[in-house]
Amino acid sequence: MRTAKTVDRLRQAVRAARQEGKTIGLVPTMGFLHAGHMSLVDRARRETDLVVVSIFVNPAQFGPSEDFEAYPRDEERDLAMLEEAGVDLVFMPSAEEMYPEGFATYVLQEGSLTETLCGRSRPGHFRGVTTIVAKLFNLVGPDRAYFGQKDAQQVAVIRRMVKDLNFDVRIVACPIVREDDGLALSSRNTYLDSRQRQDATVLSRALFEARAAIEAGQRRAAAIRELVRNRIAAVADARIDYVEVVDADDLTPLEKLQGRIMIAVAVRIGKPRLIDNIQMTVDR
């Protein structure tokens, strides 16, 4: 496994792979890897010849009061996991490498995809996401890029950016990886103490109960939102940011459940802000 900390070294490595006719898979991460990230790596290994993983805690997608400085980092552990998984190249740039002095060009996506859900409560977040992902696509030129479905809004935003800016890359969304008790894996889970860790399972339990209600015939989005809110609100330490029932493709709010839908939640359990979602296809 090779590592690159500069744009020049990264470009040299991917250029050589291209000259050999290899297909390239990109897995963008912010490090502190877990089984969810490794499922993306595994998919990339199966589908492409050269797997590139980026590790970069992107300051542009954190707000002033968010956890950029405290975000968990463990470079040595991450590299050991990636080497064991058979990753070919790891890109680990500094903030100065990605945003050098005088940097002034950002990718701004307008419209409903970035104005709802996390975009509503985290102003500027998706400008940081689209900018860094566009830079990575430009530098790596991947055939496929792999993202986790836990960040469903991010996947939708990136897919729209790829379409609008004519990036020649296929976006592959991989299923959420969960603990045995249903908690969606997240690097921020490390912030939870033992009691909060148990409380956090309310997110998935509420979502699974909502899915069961839909499977039993419930078609009113308002009823599903109320069900999920009530279940989460019953946990004393839980503070709801949002509970939404939306179209799974364009993220517009729904009144009646039909077609591909997503139930998405963002909840603070103590200090950590956790997100989760489920998607399903609903018949009339």
Hey, which residues are catalytic here? Answer: 37
Burial class of residue 194, CB neighbours in 10 A (0-12, 13-18, 19+): exposed
Q: What's 80's DSSP letter?
A: H
Q: Closest by alpha carbon to 61, among 139, 143, 134, 166? A: 134
Residue 138: left if φ>0, alpha if ψ -120 to 50, beta else—which one? alpha
Q: Closest by alpha carbon to 201, among 175, 246, 237, 155? A: 237
Q: Closest by alpha carbon to 60, among 36, 93, 26? A: 93
Q: Backbone phi, then psi, for 114, in 5-degree steps?
A: -105, 0
Q: What is the spatial distance between Cα 224 and Cα 35, in angstroms, rounded to a whole number?
A: 30
